[in-house]
Amino acid sequence: MNIIEHEPLARHTSWRIGGAARYYVEVTDAAHVQAALGWAAERELPVFVMGNGTNLLVRDGGFDGLVIRFVGREWSITPAPDGVTATLHLAAGAPMAGTARRVSAQGWGGLVWAEGLPGSLGGAVYGNAGCYGGDIAGVLTQAWLLVEDRVAVWANEQLDFRYRSSVLKRWPVPPSRPLVLAADLRLHHADAELLRAELAEIAAARKSKTPWGSSCGSVFKNPPPVIGADGTATAYSAGQLIERGGIKGTRIGGAEISQVHGNYIVNVDHATAADVLALIGLAQRTIRAEFGIDLELEVQVVGE
């Protein structure tokens, strides 16, 4: 195991923000993860597991323990005897968007929705990542997990996927949370040219909506619809509420609530986690005061 000391986590997060991990190791398979967990247990160190760091805010004080990052990217496609469907076996560290492009180029459909989705398979399973009409819950058949110290295979239903959530995200005792090692995703045969056109359409749509610069995507979850006195439901996205609250473009230190998309906070100039947390607090206070709605974080805050 190549354990690195004082590794800046800003290097491994899409926000390019965050203090250092006291210890940091990259792992590829179950044996590797078990060795890393054993190493941390011997030293009684807390552990944090990450994928591509696209949904994390690491505090400026870093993480005083072992950060384990999944980097295994193996993938293989096994066509079913019917010739129409196939199973994609994917390691936890595999990138979702790159994988969507690779399988599509081979004439397998089922993952086009993930074009441009940052992050790894492990992070996508943990938070049931989704966009453009699809999500992990809709394609995953089974997943290989490290549960306590054993590898187990769980069917889709056992992961109990919900909106941007799985049983892993809701796990009651975080240190014993199962870790995703790999998963099988369902594919179907499709015309590679049509898939290419769909990918291009989604890429263009994403580009038009995504603010330029380092971010973690959506900071807040979209709140549930508000039920009016007459019983009608009105749904506002977190971005719309922030826009109506008049705080788009607000800047604290090097971080800014995007002018383009209210639910993005962009690192415009060497932002710190403290800058981002101050903007998060401002947005939550403003939306509570103006609309009586509590904005819940989608991004996970880690560290000291």
Task: Give the C-alpha separation, 47 to 176, whole Å.
Answer: 10
Binds ligand FAD by CB under 6 A, chosen from 24, 26, 52, 134: 52
* Known active-site residue 164: yes
Residue 119 in contact with ligand FAD, rule: CB under 6 A? yes
Task: Give the C-alpha separation, 60 to 62, whole Å.
Answer: 5
Q: How far is the CB of 194 from ligand FAD (least distance, A)?
A: 22
Q: 162 or 288, CB closer to ligand FAD?
A: 162
H/E run at residue 243: helix 238-244
Binds ligand FAD by CB under 6 A, chosen from 99, 120, 222, 258: 120
Among the residues of 115-186, which ranges form H helices? 121-126, 136-139
Q: Residues binding ligand FAD: what is the number (CB under 6 A)?
A: 32
Task: Give the C-alpha separation, 200 to 192, whole Å.
Answer: 12
Q: How far is the CB of 69 from ligand FAD (least distance, A)?
A: 8
CB atoms within 10 A of CB 225: 11
Residue 267 in contact with ligand FAD, rule: CB under 6 A? no
Q: 7 to 36, contacts with ligand FAD by CB under 6 A?
A: 14
Closest residue (Cβ) to ligand FAD? 123
* Known active-site residue 218: yes
H/E run at residue 57: strand 56-58
Mask: binding to ligand FAD, 31-50, rule CB under 6 A, as x and -? ------------------xx
Task: Give the C-alpha separation, 15 to 174, whole Å.
Answer: 24
Q: How far is the CB of 111 from ligand FAD (least distance, A)?
A: 13
- Contact 71/29 with Cβ under 8 angstroms? no
Q: 229 to 248, contacts with ligand FAD by CB under 6 A?
A: none
Catalytic residue among 73, 164, 177, 251: 164
Residue 303 in contact with ligand FAD, rule: CB under 6 A? no
Alpha carbon distances (Å) from 32 to 149, 168, 175: 12, 21, 18
Residue 128 makes CB contacts below 8 A (sequence gap 6+) with: 135, 136, 137, 161, 162, 163, 164, 165, 166, 169
3-state secondary structure (DSSP) of residue 13: coil
Binds ligand FAD by CB under 6 A, chosen from 67, 100, 180, 276: 180
Which parts of this chain interact with ligand FAD (CB under 6 A)? Answer: 14, 49-56, 70, 92, 117-120, 122-124, 126-127, 129-131, 164, 168, 179-180, 210, 215-217, 300
Active site residues: 164, 218, 298
